[in-house]
Amino acid sequence: MGIILALGVSHFYWSAAATPNSKDRVVTNFLAGTSAMLGLLCAVSEPIGELWEANQSKNQVISQNIQMYEPVEKQQFSGLLILVVVAVLIGIGARWITSAKHTKN
């Protein structure tokens, strides 16, 4: 991409230099301005391309990490299960304490 822009810069600069200097110089100014704009695009095209490529790589790594290390969902009923087990154990203990064999008459 940069080489195409560089060729455009040289073409417009050469065309601007080759046009005759008329009184208003509109064509010359237009070609010189276009040459400067293409020169600026030439200068920033590589860093912009590198930035875009870095963002693409970063996004790809993030998506791969999410796929590899998906968070494990906690089971919602585990706390409820503990409460049920404790309640059953308390019920069995209360039944045992109040049973006839355990109490002395």
Single-letter residue type at 58: K
Calculate the alpha carbon distances from 59 to 52, 54, 64, 68, 85 in Å. Answer: 11, 9, 9, 14, 46
Domain locations along the chain: 2-73
pLDDT score for 5 = 67
pLDDT score for 76 = 63
Q: Which of 51, 31, 37 is nearest to 5 (CA)?
A: 37
- The pLDDT tens digits of the residues spanning 51-66 come to 999 999 999 999 998 8
